[in-house]
């Protein structure tokens, strides 16, 4: 089931967007809401539709968007700054991408940021990501280290090119795929959660089928908000599909009340409490939600810490936004993805499931079934 959607976004010109495929003549799936906010009982996997947009691959579009007058208020609300991007690609002496290389950015003797390359040998730094003002940054004061070796080349900003480093080292990478799912389980998720639970279980099964030679570990963190029955509820990494699936199926939507939820607590628990491997070839944390975190300074600092640690551990954050988000939440989730070399996923109205979904401010994208989209992304980063 494919469709190309050309959106009338806040920016009228789309840079670097490609269209492919065509939406078939399949009817939309009806959704009958019950008193409990659940579905019509027909909640098998493969019904929810979604799209993906990767801002790192559409950088001109993103920079034009955040510089446009219509998006300044949302961007300023969370005070993230992506204007000083440094793109990194690490290769071996044969120009083969090196996965799991530890890359560090220094200013003099001060460690500014750490990250790891993915299976494409790629990663990014954003100098001053948490600063409102990045004017006056002089890259001659900075240095890149890869696996403890200082790189002698001058650092390029993204507009000047990609910083490519060849190193003569073997990196220990285990054929292991680690996938965590963070899921908002507050009452407002009731219109979609039962469908999503089946999709997540289906994704785990299909990823195992597609990667039979890999060790696959999955974990889940369901969350609500302070004052609810629980704030977070966790199932740790396990090689047992049954363990993770059973935990997912036992969860249900309830609580909440106000708009914001304990996103920061879920993110903190996922990144700090789950036992991410040091040498896994793939680490992905999906964040499925329909509301932002609370906007206090304390929570902002917690988000900063979790995003830095996710990048340091090489965990890609891939947000999945459901019905009910606003533009500020969309921009926040896209910043989460950018900061950790991830990508942004959003549920669409095409299936007819759930309440109305916000049209994302992106270029042309392909509509896919959510479960297939997630499997595609996991397989892509597990090559």
Same domain? 184 vs 200: yes
Helical H segments across the chain, by residue range: 59-67, 72-78, 193-210, 241-249, 263-272, 297-313, 327-339, 370-381
90 and 131 both lie in a single domain: yes
**Angle 67-297-76 (CA atoms, 0-180°, nearest 5)?**
10
pLDDT beyond 60 at 347 = yes
Q: What angle do CA 232, 292, 70 make, to 5 degrees?
A: 165
Number of domains in the chain: 2
Say whether both 89 and 119 belong to one domain.
yes
CATH code where residue 112 lies:
2.60.40.10
**Are residue 61 and residue 145 in the same domain, yes or no?**
no
Same domain, 211 and 273: yes
Say whether both 294 and 227 belong to one domain.
yes
Q: Is the model's pLDDT at 201 over the cut of 80?
A: yes
- 54 lies in the same domain as 184: yes
Taking the complete model, does pTM exceed 0.85, yes or no? yes
Whether residue 64 is found in the same domain as residue 204: yes
Give a yes or no: residue 27 inside a domain.
Answer: no
Residue 318 counted as domain residue: yes
Domain range for residue 111?
82-166
Report d(CA 287, CA 364) in Å as an integer: 23
Quick one: 99 and 55 in the same domain?
A: no
Q: Are 230 and 162 in contact (CB under 8 A)?
A: no
327 in any annotated domain: yes
Q: For residues 101 and 229, what is the distance between their CA atoms, to the nearest angstrom?
A: 41
- CATH number of the domain to which 180 belongs: 3.40.50.410
- What pLDDT digit, counting tens, does each position of 301-336 carry? 999 999 999 999 999 999 999 998 999 999 999 999
pLDDT for 221: 97
Judge whether 71 lies within some domain. Answer: yes
- Of 145, 166, 187, the one marking the end of a domain is 166
Q: Which of 166, 195, 229 is the last residue of a domain?
A: 166
State the Cα–Cα distance between residues 332 and 338, nearest whole angstrom. Answer: 10
Per residue in 349-383, pLDDT tens? 999 998 899 999 999 999 999 999 999 999 999 99
Q: Are residues 227 and 368 in the same domain?
A: yes
In this structure, are 67 and 207 located in the same domain? yes
Together in a domain, 102 and 72:
no
Given 151, 166, 181, which residue is the final one in a domain? Answer: 166
Phi, psi of 126 (to 5 degrees): -130, 100
Using one digit for the tens of pLDDT, what is the confidence trace for 18-55? 333 322 333 333 222 322 333 334 578 889 999 999 99
In a domain, 41, yes or no: no
Give residue-wise pLDDT tens across range 116-173.
999 999 999 999 998 877 778 899 999 999 999 999 999 999 999 999 999 999 999 9
């Amino acid at each position: 089931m494919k469709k190309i959607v050309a959106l009338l976004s806040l920016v009228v010109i789309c840079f670097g967007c490609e269209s492919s495929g065509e939406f078939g003549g399949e009817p939309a799936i009806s959704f009958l809401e019950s008193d409990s906010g659940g579905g019509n009982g027909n909640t098998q996997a493969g019904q929810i539709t979604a799209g993906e947009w990767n801002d790192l691959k559409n950088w001109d579009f993103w920079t034009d968007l955040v510089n446009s007058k219509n998006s300044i208020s949302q961007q300023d609300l969370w005070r993230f700054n992506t204007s000083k991007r440094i793109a990194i690609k690490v290769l071996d002496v044969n120009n083969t991408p090196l996965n799991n290389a530890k890359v560090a950015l220094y200013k003099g003797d001060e460690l500014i940021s750490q990250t790891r390359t993915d299976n494409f040998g790629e990663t990014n730094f954003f100098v001053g990501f948490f600063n409102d003002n990045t004017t006056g940054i002089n890259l001659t004061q900075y240095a890149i280290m890869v696996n403890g070796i200082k790189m002698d080349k001058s650092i390029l900003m993204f507009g000047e090119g990609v910083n490519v480093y060849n190193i003569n080292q073997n990196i220990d990478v285990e054929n292991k795929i680690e996938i965590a799912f963070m899921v908002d389980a507050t009452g407002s998720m009731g219109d979609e959660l039962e469908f999503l639970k089946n999709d997540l279980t289906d994704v785990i099964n299909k990823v195992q089928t597609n990667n039979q030679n890999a060790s696959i570990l999955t974990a889940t963190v369901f969350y609500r908000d302070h004052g609810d029955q629980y704030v977070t509820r966790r199932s740790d990494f396990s090689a047992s599909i049954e363990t993770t699936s059973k935990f997912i199926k036992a969860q249900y939507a309830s609580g909440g009340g106000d708009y914001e939820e304990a996103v920061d607590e879920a993110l903190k628990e996922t990144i700090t409490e789950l036992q991410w491997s040091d040498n896994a070839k793939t680490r992905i944390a999906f964040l499925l939600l329909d509301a932002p975190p609370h906007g206090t300074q304390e929570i902002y600092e917690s988000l900063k810490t979790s995003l830095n640690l996710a990048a340091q551990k090489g965990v890609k954050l891939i947000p999945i936004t459901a019905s009910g988000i606003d533009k500020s939440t969309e921009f926040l989730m896209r910043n989460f993805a950018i900061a950790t070399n991830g990508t942004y996923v959003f549920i669409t109205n095409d299936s007819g499931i759930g309440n109305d979904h916000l049209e994302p401010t992106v270029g042309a994208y392909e509509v896919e079934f959510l479960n297939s989209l997630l499997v595609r992304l996991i397989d892509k980063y597990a090559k």
